Amino acid sequence: DAGVTQSPTHLIKTRGQQVTLRCSPKSGHDTVSWYQQALGQGPQFIFQYYEEEERQRGNFPDRFSGHQFPNYSSELNVNALLLGDSALYLCASSLDGLLYGYTFGSGTRLTVV
């Protein structure tokens, strides 16, 4: 049973560019959350998608946007990249996160130069 799959695993972008990160949730999961993890820090909540709608977002600017598709897969888009956007971006999926917790992917390491 495949878990959460994220692509790409590593990415280098130039300041000002745009990037799209992709996530395929674990089979049977319908909720996808995105987190940003800076080096040496805990993950910070970006937003959560359920039934193709953004259900909630954390304290991130509008440069961060996302989408969930009918098959529950999701994309995270970041526009006008800043050096400070360099981080590990984690995708987590769940069916009922309170009961079962979240299943995380291995993340996409984004480096902005």
Partner 1 sequence: AQTVTQSQPEMSVQEAETVTLSCTYDTSENNYYLFWYKQPPSRQMILVIRQEAYKQQNATENRFSVNFQKAAKSFSLKISDSQLGDTAMYFCAFMKHGSGGYQKVTFGTGTKLQVIP
Q: Can you read off the two tokens belonging to residue 35?
A: 């987190």
17 vs 96, beta carbon nearer partner 1: 96
Rounded least distance, CB 56 to partner 1, Å: 4
Rounded least distance, CB 21 to partner 1, Å: 14
Kind and range of the H or E element at 20?
strand 19-24
Buried-exposed string 1-39: b where 16+ CB fall within 10 A, e elsewhere? eeebebeeeeeebeeeeebebebbbbeebebbbbbbeee
81 vs 107, beta carbon nearer partner 1: 107
85 vs 93, beta carbon nearer partner 1: 93
Q: Could you list the residues that contact partner 1 (CB under 8 A)?
A: 3, 31, 33, 35, 40-45, 48, 50, 55-56, 58, 88, 90, 92, 94, 97-98, 101-107, 109
C-alpha radius of gyration, the chain, whole number: 13
